[in-house]
Chain A
Amino acid sequence: MFYRESGDFKKTYQKDNQTFPIKFDRWRYYFVMLVAFIVVPMFLTDYMANAVMTPFLVWAIAALGLNILVGYTGQLSLGTGGFMAVGAYATYKLMTAFPGMDMVSVVLLSGLITAVVGALFGLPSLRIKGFYLAVATLAAQFFLVWLLNKVPWFYNYSASGQISAPQREMFGVIITGPHATPVAGYLFCLVFAVGLAWVARNLTRGRLGRSWMAIRDMDIAAEIIGVNPLAAKLSAFAVSSFFVGIAGSLFFSVYLGAAEVTEAFGISVSFAVLFMVIIGGLGSIFGSFIGAAFMVLMPVLLKNILVGGMGWPTDLAAHFEFIIVGGLILIFLIVEPHGLAQMARVLKEKLRLWPFPH
């Protein structure tokens, strides 16, 4: 009944190659966009924006970035936290050094700076593979955090090493700083999330993305058929870091407004993003979003149910949160090792045949 191709004739290659070839899927996508851009902003409260939606979008961008590296190119990275920190500190330095610069340029430039740093730390990937690469990127994580904490220039010599985002506006609307309305911050992040998802989708089905996937599937074979591993791996590191840097930039400027490198961008962040990618689904754009949703929304949801709804003591609820989220991760991975995105894919296949399974 749903997801039927029948009657949906494609007359051009372009139409045949579109992201959502099935009509139902396409309309569902338009509907989600409509909800995200128009309906959600109408009902957005401070709490929903600052504790749920904005962090979800920011983490989704980070997961998207890491998915390009881990999911599409097969290079395991544990440096996400460090790269997010680079994005955040680049934003802080740009915002304070050039007060007149508009926020879109600041965020994009921060992404570019992170891309350069990421490519630099991607260099070892040409020689080392698999778990050893994970260790090398782990070094990036610790080195970057140490560097940003050690050199006072990065935090403008403030006494405590904290950085805080000054107020900036675009088109007369305040986007960063304490006076920003929740809707402005949400929409700002949403534009970036949608735009970057679009970029990621089109990169991964183009020449570059195919070279990444070739490297992932078998690097020697890829080299033999003419894929340049240097270009493919470094471009994957650069693009991935660009995304992660933008996530770090938005995390600091729009979501938190102030940050401290050891606390906000520690190793736990790297693991959290990696879990998002694995739970959501390696090599899937949708998976990045759903993985981020799972990791960000689940604890908040559980907290509200356990403490707000059932009146449990906060410490007990906090511990149970860990148990329940951890248990759910296990269950999901046992039921579907390829992540939530694969579950959605299977569901889609089933729905296509429904109600006649054969």
Chain B
Amino acid sequence: MKFTKLATIALTTMAVSAPVVADLVFPSLSYRTGPYASGGAPYADGYADYFTLLNERDGGIGGVKTAVPECETGYNTAKGVECYEATKGDGALTYQPLSTGITYQLIPKTMADDIPLMTQGYGRTSGANGKVFSHVFNFPANYWSGASRIINRIKEENSGSAEGRNIALVYHNSGYGKEPITTLKALADKEGFNLTLIPVDHPGQEQKSQWLQIRRERPDNIILYGWGVMNQVALKEAANIRYPMDQMFGIWWSGTDNDALEGMGSHGYKAATFHNVGSDFPVYADIQKFVVDAGLAAGDGSNVGTVLYNRGMYSAMLAASGAAKAQEIHGVKDITSGMMRDGLEALDVTDALMAAAGMPEFGPEFTVSCSNHGGPGDVGIQQWDANDRQWKLIGGFEAPDTKLINQLIKVDSEAYAAENNITPRDC
């Protein structure tokens, strides 16, 4: 027991002596180690760099500096909880864990601690129902709108019908990968296609048996819900069995720069996306000038302009807009997490706002309301061009099967409310 106490004493002194920051604190629960580091690192860089840019260029948000304390989770839920507990006391305004597993852990905790939880394009889809999930914000799109948009795209490519097609879902066998199954099953009934479920276990380095099954069954389309190393392996295996790449669709977490292969192997592979691609936006000039050239970039600066860097930056930009809105509503500069929540709920992302942030037409216009925390769910389709080695948008940002998705969100969120004795808010 001696050792325990020594450690306890040492830990307490550490906890007490940790620096107290009085800025606007946006903790970053990042992962730069482990099998998902290839996805976690560029995202964390983008998130941190955008706040650094705000500090350097504008002097923070509304004149108050921002701080982004980082905590390594390794995509592990227990470590995620440890990070949450370690950082929430420093005046954390919002959390963006970039992990569906950690999101599920934090949903009840953040609600109890009155801290908004932002999950851009991941997390619990039914969190879009603001009546039940008062502290979850998963705009502008979620897993279900992504799945629906992919099915719509398949319909477009096949003269308006997916009837009778065999579609296989290759998914990460976790909360994240399982999330779209409900929607795809409902869509299969509605549109008349056959759905095959092919799970891949964590971390996804070994997929031989899955691709043997695909080779045997030759599905007409493959939908990929993978993350980290699983994406690279899946695309490689697909190329190995000469699966037609243009018939394969990834969700946005399977559509990153790391995933596409060297050479022509993944040419034509498509992926859904909820934001624009590339680095052709004014904000990048500022990031180069104020952050990278000043030597303040998080990481080694090599990720600037990649898909996940963009996404991290976009998420940071939405959080910063929420904070600015909160300052405006409450007339206070040093906002609390509760005010931040109000700000996010009143968020109105317009083209003018995006342009002012140096990201014109980067993401869709949307308005958050008390009952709708999910935004419109407009999703675009990007395609990998192996000749230029970049993603290109080929389909516009269109609404998915909103009616069906809203129905599913309602059912799932009400089940959660009943299980946890939550009375839905009136709005």
Contact = CB atoms under 8 A, between A and B. Distances in A.
Interface of A: 32, 35, 40, 43, 45-48, 50-53, 55-56, 96, 149, 156, 158-162, 164, 166-167, 177-179, 256-260, 262-264, 266, 286, 289-290, 293-294, 297-298, 300-301, 303-305, 307-309, 313-315, 317-319, 340, 344
Nearest to A40: B8
Kindly name the residue among B2, B173, B415, B420 whose own CB sees the greatest number of chain A CB atoms within 10 A. Answer: B173
Contact of A161 (B2, B89, B178): B178
Contact of B77 (A35, A56, A259): A259
Interface residues of B, number: 60
A164 B112 CA distance: 15
Contacts of B175: 160-162, 260, 263
B296 interface: no
A48 B16 CA distance: 11
A319 B37 CA distance: 12
A314 B175 CA distance: 26
B1 interface: yes
Interface in B58-110: 70-72, 74, 76-78, 81-82, 85-86, 88-89, 100-101, 104-105, 107-109
A35 B8 CA distance: 12
B201 interface: yes
Interface string B157-197: 00000000000000001111011011000000000000000
A47 B15 contact: yes
A314 B420 contact: no
A32 B8 CA distance: 13
Contacts of A258: 77, 104-105, 107-108
A294 B82 CA distance: 17
B33 A257 contact: no
Contacts of A159: 125-126, 178-179, 181-182, 412
A55 B32 contact: no
B77 A52 contact: no
Contacts of B10: 301, 305
Nearest to B113: A178
23 contacts: A40-B8, A47-B89, A50-B85, A156-B415, A160-B100, A166-B420, A167-B420, A167-B421, A257-B109, A260-B77, A260-B104, A262-B173, A266-B202, A289-B4, A290-B3, A290-B4, A300-B82, A304-B11, A304-B18, A315-B37, A318-B72, A318-B74, A340-B3
Given A51-B82, A177-B420, A258-B108, 17 more contacts: A40-B8, A46-B88, A47-B86, A48-B8, A56-B4, A160-B100, A166-B419, A166-B421, A177-B108, A177-B112, A257-B109, A263-B101, A263-B174, A290-B1, A293-B4, A297-B7, A318-B32
Contacts of A161: 174-175, 178
Contacts of B41: 315
A293 B89 contact: no
B12 interface: yes
Given A159-B412, A264-B78, A266-B202, A164 B108 contact: yes
A319 B34 CA distance: 9
B100 A308 contact: no
B104 A262 contact: no
A300 B11 contact: yes
B30 interface: yes
Contacts of B12: 43, 48
A-B pairs, 8 with minimum CB distance: A315-B32, A178-B112, A160-B175, A178-B108, A314-B72, A51-B82, A304-B14, A297-B7
Q: Is the interface of B mostly helix, strand, loop or mixed?
A: helix
Interface in B1-52: 1-5, 7-8, 10-12, 14-15, 17-18, 30, 32-33, 37, 41
B285 interface: no
Given A48-B12, A290-B4, A317-B72, A160 B124 contact: yes
Given A166-B420, A304-B15, A160 B179 contact: yes
B4 A297 contact: yes
Nearest to B76: A263
B2 to A, nearest CB: 8
B111 interface: yes
A167 B82 CA distance: 21
Contacts of B88: 46
Contact of A158 (B112, B174, B176, B415): B415
A32 B112 CA distance: 33
Nearest to B176: A160
B7 A293 contact: yes
Contacts of A256: 77-78, 81, 105
A305 B76 CA distance: 20
B176 A314 contact: no
B55 to A, nearest CB: 18
Nearest to A157: B415
Contacts of B82: 50-51, 300
Contact of B85 (A51, A156, A263): A51
Given A50-B81, A162-B104, A259-B77, A297 B178 contact: no
Contacts of A260: 77, 101, 104, 174-175
Contacts of A286: 1
B69 to A, nearest CB: 9
A309 B74 CA distance: 20
Contact of B15 (A45, A264, A317, A319): A45
A47 B3 CA distance: 19
B124 to A, nearest CB: 7
Contact of A32 (B1, B32, B113, B420): B1
Interface in B107-149: 107-109, 111-113, 124-126
Contacts of A48: 8, 11-12, 15
A304 B16 CA distance: 11
Contacts of A45: 15, 89
Contacts of A297: 4, 7-8, 11
Contacts of A178: 108-109, 111-113
Kindly name the residue among A55, A158, A340 whose own CB sees the greatest number of chain B CB atoms within 10 A. Answer: A158
Nearest to A264: B77
A257 B11 contact: no
B268 to A, nearest CB: 31
A114 B117 CA distance: 35
A319 B33 contact: yes
Contacts of A56: 4
A264 B78 CA distance: 8
A293 B8 CA distance: 10
